[in-house]
Structure 1
Amino acid sequence: MKILKPLMLIFFVSLLTTSCFEDNDDNQISTNEINDFVWKGMNLFYLYKDNVPDLANDKFSSDEAYASYLNSFSTPEDLFESLIYQRTTVDKFSWIVDDYIALEQSFSGISTSNGMEFTLFLQPNSTTKLIGIVRLVLPNSDAETKGLVRGDIFNKVDNTELTIDNYNSLLSRSSYTLSFANYNTNGTTENTDDTIEPLNKTITLNKLEYNENPIFKSEILTVNGENVGYLMYNGFTANYDTQLNNVFGNFKNNNVKHLVLDLRYNPGGSVNSAILLASMITGQFNNEVFSTEEWNSEFQAAFEQENPELLINRFKNTLDGNLINSLNLSKVYVIALESSASASELIINSLDPYIDVIHIGENTAGKYQASTTLYDSEDFTREGANPNHTYAMQPLIFKSLNKVGKTDYDNGLTPDIDISESYLNLGIIGNENEKLLALALAEIEGSTTKTNKIKSENTRKLKPIEDSNSFNRFNNSMYLNKQLPASLLNKINFEQN
């Protein structure tokens, strides 16, 4: 007797419990109907499927056994988490959402934000109390309107002192009041006598729908008589690819000979946007291998048999049918910190075999896996999604390798020049005196004296705890919109044992 793979087991509602959700139209849908979508999607796509026994194709001996398994999870979130491989060490980035509309808006650059980006640190001489330092204020946001500036320090939210235990709940609110403070070094180089002194200043911030342009700053500077392009790029957002190309058009028209790419706060985003950016930086490698993909064993085998080219991402020279603006550089200076993740790391890792990539900053986040959005439809795409709920999954589906096979950088990418921001003297983004940009310009100039002076500046050793990217569950993603061939999906879905 032939038995269909578990992916295609017939779903018997009569075997399931009656636990239900209500959608926006007050239609009830059973928990297990969503659980069925979760298991089937993970069984098909999940990168680490081979490492999760509950995702094995022969896990269930009958339809009844499968239904009983689904019935053992009270929520789709519980089932999803049970299928994640080593959540704290390997797969830190897969997630499930109950509102894919918000997810789609986030990928297009739309989110709810007050416009303040920040990093939280332990207060001096404390293991529980925190301070927040504003690292970026987004243009045309509530934070900018209220006068917040980069470098502002706050220690209370809604008149409650920030601590390890309460910061998440306090800063997740849609509206809150910040109380500001001054960091007093008391004129010494040691932290032991540092104090936090409250200021008589508060600001109330409101989170509103905000469409963030990832192109935060672009400038043209001059070093040794040659033009240097500077670009702070804060997210790989496909909706802004044309604007990004326009920036490089300006660089090209102004005969830019060097580029400083600032990805210090960039948590990632679209793989396609990363390919385009790398192609704009270079241009001389059109159609050569930018990166390759490694999927779970079933998908990998199917790709290799059906169409191996689908495992390769190549440099491009066009956008929407038009030639892109490329600088044909053989060297690029990339500012990247611990908060630089996924597609930001993909840029560094994939360009490295081709040109000289000078990484200035810190070890990056260490995310080399990509994900895709799975919907509850026959082929897991948006079209035909179950109208009775808005659950979607964003599981890891492949890991990226550069041309020479480098991947699995769990501890991040190591900088060529190890340096951190001066948190108590952040400087102005895009200004040639801002510490990290100044170092890049000194390297371009070839001034060892300037480089050593910047690196030797005393930086207060503060302990980072968290940054604002963590408050957006859709951040730190590297996602791919790839149309999988129907024949490939059918081969996996309908294969019989």
Structure 2
Amino acid sequence: MKNTFKTVSLLFMLALFFNCTKEYEVPDDLVLRDFVWKGLNAYYLHQDQIEDLSDRRFNSDQEINTYLNTFETESDLFANLLLAGDTKSNILEDYNIIFDEAPINQVNGFEFGAILEPGSTENIVAFVYYVLPNSDAELKNLTRGEFFNTVNGTQLTVTNYENLLLNNTSDYTLGMVNFDGITVTPNGKSVTLKKESYDVLPIFLEKVIPVATDNVGYLMYNNNFSGDYITDLNNAFLNIKNQSVNKLIIDFRYNIGSGGFAKNITQIASMINGDFIDEIAIKEEWNTKAQSWFLANQPDSIVTKFPTRLNISTEINSVQLTDVYFILNGNNFSGSSAIELLMNSLKPYINVHIIGNQTIGNNTGSITLYNSEDYNFANRNMSHTVALQPIVLTFLNNSDETYANGFSPNIDLCANEDILNLGVLGERSDPLLDRVLNYISSGNIGNSTCDQDNFEYVCNTVAAQREIDNGVFINQHLPNTN
């Protein structure tokens, strides 16, 4: 009798054990929606403000399933779970686009803007912002500040300029004109340009400008903040270092990049000043429950220090600068999340001068979540290609400062450059650069006289190329939360 009782008791305990430890199987038709809910519940920055993401919202898997079934697609669910106004978080239906190589550029070799011709509601006058080095446009002697108003003999208008200039895949001829702000006068010059493959130069312009007792380094950087150009930037900083530069201007006015990775930003920060090795450049603040876990289990993983190397074989070329000057571009460019993170990481240590308008205040970071137990790529569910890119954290610097409201400039700029006086990039004939150099030498911020001509701007090809700024991304080892 005792043996029978022991056997029954043992079977009961085994049954109870297996029932308690049996892994819940997500129904096949809910795999994607389950992934979306769990990923956002674990790591979405605003998780504690979304009622349907609360840990107490559902009492059982069945309740969650009932809720998930009220959404037709994973994208519908994702959108419903975001805080109102969140335009940074994203869901990818095919994560392979992350790894796709950028297409080879087919360009005519210049960037331009356009305004309505004074006195007209239809005709436009276009002007050259800059010419790409070693391009067909440079070969044909097209220069910054020149004007044109026809393509292949056809007057440019607000309704045809896109087809004639932007969507045109063949050669075309620009009809050049003189423009004094009022009158458009053909000058007899024409420039025939061809579309060609073009490898964008990592650094658009690099030079050293003597100003009184200072050696001022000048970099115009137009590219993104991915790892593609970090080595080139590092080489540029070596050139600057070798010329005893003590102040630096980084000109971002035509920059088309956006986020990039936080690691790359700290590498650039170390190039600007390498005196703060092992000091904290970036702190991360996650949602309440994720932050608590990181602080308890891996606190070092939510701070990034100024690095000394790009990789195991490449040292960072650091310049011991005390002042850095970032040029933005009025209303055309008020900075990106990457540029703001760079500014913020340096502010506790050196003098950061901003030339432009109030920056946008994109102080959040994102991560790519794949459908696996620890949300990493290696162990992902191979039955689909959906990935999540939610905002998951706020960036702070070593002084616990963040920048949700953006940064105020030291020098205010007009909404647009003076198209009648653009000057030569990298020379003091460029009014914007000249103003910054005067500020460096005298502390005088100068004056902005804006919109004297009251032009109506129609097009800016640089602005059109700027990526949607979803914030800076991080790499992070995440715990298994499933």
AA aligned to 2:61 is D
RMSD: 4.3
Offset of residue 111 of structure 1 = 7.2
Task: Note the 1:347-366 alignment, pairs <5 A.
Answer: 347-366=342-361
Distance (Å, rounded) in 1 between the aligned partners of 2:452 and 2:91: 40
Q: Secondary structure at the match of 1:247?
A: helix
Task: Report what 2:302 is aligned to.
Answer: 311
- Whether the aligned pair in 2 keeps the contact of 1:361 and 1:418 (CA below 8 Å) is yes
Task: Report what 2:27 is aligned to.
Answer: 12
Q: Secondary structure at the match of 1:277?
A: helix
Q: Does 1:102 align with 2:90?
A: no
- Whether the aligned pair in 1 keeps the contact of 2:273 and 2:321 (CA below 8 Å) is yes
Task: Note the 1:201-350 alignment, pairs <5 A.
Answer: 212-224=200-212, 226-234=214-222, 235-266=224-255, 267-321=258-312, 322-337=314-329, 338-350=333-345
Distance (Å, rounded) in 1 between the aligned partners of 2:185 and 2:87: 34
Task: Report what 1:60 is aligned to.
Answer: 58
Q: Secondary structure at the match of 1:273?
A: helix
Alignment length (residue pairs): 449
Task: Report what 1:377 is aligned to.
Answer: 372
Q: Secondary structure at the match of 2:206?
A: strand
Q: Secondary structure at the match of 1:298?
A: helix
Normalised by the length of structure 1, the TM-score is 0.74
Offset of residue 153 of structure 1 = 6.9
User: Aligned to 1:414, which of 385, 408, 413?
Assistant: 408
Q: Unmatched 5+ residue regions in structure 1?
A: 3-7, 17-31, 188-193
Distance (Å, rounded) in 2 between the aligned partners of 1:172 and 1:152: 18
AA aligned to 1:292 is K
- Whether the aligned pair in 1 keeps the contact of 2:124 and 2:156 (CA below 8 Å) is no
Q: Call closer, same or farther: CA 1:224–1:345 in 2, change over 3 Å.
A: same
Distance (Å, rounded) in 2 between the aligned partners of 1:119 and 1:152: 11
Q: Call closer, same or farther: CA 1:141–1:385 in 2, change over 3 Å.
A: farther
User: Aligned to 2:433, which of 413, 433, 437?
Assistant: 437
Offset of residue 442 of structure 1 = 1.3
Q: Secondary structure at the match of 1:313?
A: strand
Offset of residue 174 of structure 1 = 8.9
Distance (Å, rounded) in 2 between the aligned partners of 1:51 and 1:132: 48
- Whether the aligned pair in 1 keeps the contact of 2:116 and 2:123 (CA below 8 Å) is yes
AA aligned to 1:248 is F
- Whether the aligned pair in 1 keeps the contact of 2:337 and 2:472 (CA below 8 Å) is no
Distance (Å, rounded) in 1 between the aligned partners of 2:166 and 2:72: 26
Larger radius of gyration: 2
Distance (Å, rounded) in 2 between the aligned partners of 1:207 and 1:50: 51
Distance (Å, rounded) in 1 between the aligned partners of 2:161 and 2:42: 38
Distance (Å, rounded) in 1 between the aligned partners of 2:123 and 2:282: 43
Q: Call closer, same or farther: CA 1:299–1:248 in 2, change over 3 Å.
A: same
Distance (Å, rounded) in 2 between the aligned partners of 1:64 and 1:130: 62
Q: Unmatched 5+ residue regions in structure 2?
A: 1-15, 18-22
Distance (Å, rounded) in 2 between the aligned partners of 1:392 and 1:142: 41
Offset of residue 335 of structure 1 = 0.8
Offset of residue 367 of structure 1 = 0.9
Offset of residue 231 of structure 1 = 0.8
Distance (Å, rounded) in 1 between the aligned partners of 2:41 and 2:123: 43
Distance (Å, rounded) in 2 between the aligned partners of 1:127 and 1:370: 43
- Whether the aligned pair in 2 keeps the contact of 1:156 and 1:162 (CA below 8 Å) is no
Point out the more displaced range, 266-275 or 152-161. Answer: 152-161
- Whether the aligned pair in 2 keeps the contact of 1:370 and 1:480 (CA below 8 Å) is yes
Q: Does 1:81 align with 2:65?
A: no
Offset of residue 247 of structure 1 = 0.7
AA aligned to 1:227 is N
Q: Call closer, same or farther: CA 1:398–1:162 in 2, change over 3 Å.
A: farther
AA aligned to 2:409 is P
Offset of residue 343 of structure 1 = 1.1
Distance (Å, rounded) in 2 between the aligned partners of 1:78 and 1:156: 46
Normalised by the length of structure 2, the TM-score is 0.76
Q: Secondary structure at the match of 1:367?
A: coil
